[in-house]
Amino acid sequence: MFNNLLVTGGCGFIGANFIRHMLYDSDFKGRIINVDKLTYAGNPENLTGVAEEFDKRYLFFRADICDAQAMAKIFDDCRIDSVCHFAAESHVDRSIAAPDAFIQTNIFGTWQLLEQARLRMDQMVLFHHVSTDEVYGSLGETGLFTEHTRYDPSSPYSASKASADHLVSAYFRTYGLPVTISNCSNNYGPYQFPEKLIPLMILNAITGDPLPVYGRGTNVRDWLHVTDHCRAIREIMLGGRRGQTYNVGGNSEKTNMEVVTRICKIMDDSLPALEDRKPRTDLITYVADRPGHDLRYAMDFSRLREEMGWEPVETFETGLEKTIQWYMDNHKWVDRVKSGQYRQWIKSHYGSLTGRA
Ligand code: NAD
Ligand code: TYD
């Protein structure tokens, strides 16, 4: 069992949900040490209240996972015995515009953490690496990705994650580092930075701004509520076979148009009408397609179901309604993210900012 769990990227969307899940909703009794560089996607306000409530069991360090000295000190000072590695540059469109940071953090940074763990092999119980279904490339109209699907990434983001996955597996085979890997489909839920499809559409639909749909909106993603992903990661960390990969999915394939029109319908039913009483679907604007845009993702997660009995709890319908409600209820978080005020707070507490917001 692990006691001193290093969570990297814990101020991002999934990392923050995972820290909350472990501290509030699980029987984990150890300490969480959150290391985050606080790029544009890292928002300490995703963890408001956590440090106060868990002052002995939660520690935060602003640091870059690529910084060997800083990582070595944290591993030693905090007697790290396990890692759950989320930290990454995570947005495909940004990776197309500027791949540099993706190569640096996702590949070099992952290698740096693996080295720190390898140098302390005798104290390491587990290194869990959080990855994506995008490493498998694109499906056609039918079929599912399994853990045996050949890697075939399309974007600099997915290629950098694929590279990191290979390094993690190599450290298991070569050095016997105890690792597990999860490859998950698209997440949605609270605290997601509004550059990704679902939060962007929700926030624009609230204010009546255009809803930009790439191409014809026919690309398909498999959606999973973030709390289901966090439960899956915990199960894999506790019961997963070392050296093994586990697919995590939502059984919830939707075209992008289905997602956007569903958001519009829920919001038309619960918010005041737009000007001229027009439906929010009128805000949909078709824009240029993403280069190398993967057509379809869908996951076979039978390994995780059979070995650990994991299933998603939220359906897309229940999860989406809760998510929309969360963004409507959390005005302060939304306003501070949209206005960039969370970045000013980081600057006043931690000094210089990193990355373009
Ligand atoms: P995110 O962009 O919301 O958060 C990433 C976090 O990592 C931020 O807090 C950022 O500050 C931090 N970070 C970035 N570079 C760093 C560095 N060099 N050192 C330390 N911290 C750094 O991402 P997310 O959506 O929460 O994704 C988390 C992980 O899950 C990623 O590894 C991603 O590839 C994977 N994943 C995401 C999804 C999804 O749908 N969002 C699906 C499957 C897998
Ligand atoms: P995104 O949330 O960026 O996740 P990913 O690219 O990792 O799957 O995009 C999800 C889908 O939505 C993808 O097919 C691209 C599309 N999309 C739009 O149509 N408009 C947008 O503004 C965004 C951000 C994404």
Ligand 2 pocket member 197 (CB < 6 A): yes
CB 203 within 8 A of CB 194: yes
User: Could you give the CA distance from residue 96 to residue 159 in angstroms, rounded to a whole number?
Assistant: 11
In the set 134, 165, 235, 314, the catalytic residue is 134
Average pLDDT in the 284-303 region? 98
The least confident of 124-138, 173-187, 343-357 is 343-357
Instruction: For strands 82-85 and 126-132, give the pairing.
Output: parallel
The residue assigned the tokens 């890997």 is 181
Q: Tell me which residue of 299, 134, 291, 295 sits closest to 218, measured CA to CA.
A: 295
Ligand 2 pocket member 263 (CB < 6 A): no
Q: Look up residue 127 and give its two tokens.
A: 């290194």
Instruction: For strands 220-225 and 186-188, give the pairing.
Output: parallel
* pLDDT computed for residue 357 by the predictor: 67
Kindly give the distance from the C-alpha atom of residue 32 to the centroid of ligand 2, in angstroms, as a whole number: 31
Structural class in CATH, domain 4-187+226-250+300-310+336-349:
alpha beta
CB 163 within 8 A of CB 107: yes
Ligand 2 pocket member 221 (CB < 6 A): yes
Kindly give the distance from the C-alpha atom of residue 12 to the centroid of ligand 1, in angstroms, as a whole number: 6
Count other C-beta atoms under 10 Å from residue 185's C-beta: 24
Domain-wise residue ranges, the chain: 4-187+226-250+300-310+336-349
Residue 302 clears pLDDT 70, i.e. is over it: yes
Q: Tell me which residue of 130, 132, 134, 95 sits closest to 295, measured CA to CA.
A: 134
Kindly give the distance from the C-alpha atom of residue 2 to the centroid of ligand 2, in angstroms, as a whole number: 36
Q: Look up residue 352 and give its two tokens.
A: 């210089």
pTM for the full predicted model: 0.98
Annotation says 25 is catalytic: no
Q: Count the alpha carbons within 13 Å of 40 in the hemisphere toward its beta carbon.
A: 14
Q: pLDDT-derived band of residue 37, with 50, 70 and 90 as boundaries?
A: very high
Average pLDDT in the 170-176 region? 98
Q: Which atom of ligand 2 is nearest to the CA of 259?
A: 12
Q: Tell me which residue of 253, 286, 280, 250 sits closest to 266, measured CA to CA.
A: 280
Residue 1 clears pLDDT 90, i.e. is over it: no
* pLDDT computed for residue 109 by the predictor: 98
Annotation says 141 is catalytic: no
CA distances from 330 to 142, 152, 282, 326, 337 (A): 39, 39, 25, 6, 11
Count other C-beta atoms under 10 Å from residue 207's C-beta: 9
Q: Look up residue 142 and give its two tokens.
A: 């039918």
Cα 283 to its chain centre, rounded Å, is 28
User: Could you give the CA distance from residue 127 to residue 237 in angstroms, rounded to a whole number?
Assistant: 9
Q: Which atom of ligand 2 is nearest to the CA of 197?
A: 2
- Per-residue b/e over 89-112, b at no fewer than 16 CB within 10 Å? bbbbebbbeebebbbebbbebbbb
Residue nearest to atom 22 of ligand 2 (CA): 212
Residue range 205-263, pLDDT digits in tens: 999 999 999 999 999 999 999 999 999 999 999 999 999 999 999 999 999 999 999 99
User: Could you give the CA distance from residue 198 to residue 204 in angstroms, rounded to a whole number?
Assistant: 10
Annotation says 93 is catalytic: no
Q: How many residues does the chain have?
A: 357
CB 148 within 8 A of CB 202: no
- Mapping DSSP to helix (H, G, I), strand (E, B) and coil, where does residue 354 land? coil
* pLDDT computed for residue 202 by the predictor: 98
Average pLDDT in the 98-102 region? 98
Average pLDDT in the 19-33 region? 97
Helices (H), the chain: 13-25, 50-53, 68-77, 92-97, 100-101, 110-119, 156-175, 197-207, 226-239, 256-270, 302-308, 316-329, 331-339, 341-350
- The chain-wide mean pLDDT, for the chain, equals 96
Q: pLDDT-derived band of residue 277, with 50, 70 and 90 as boundaries?
A: confident
User: Could you give the CA distance from residue 257 to residue 170 in angstroms, rounded to a whole number?
Assistant: 40
* pLDDT computed for residue 354 by the predictor: 75
Kindly give the distance from the C-alpha atom of residue 196 to the centroid of ligand 2, in angstroms, as a whole number: 6
CB 254 within 8 A of CB 223: yes
Tell me which H or E stretch contains 33: strand 31-36
User: Could you give the CA distance from residue 103 to residue 119 in angstroms, rounded to a whole number?
Assistant: 23
Residue range 126-143, pLDDT digits in tens: 999 999 999 999 999 999
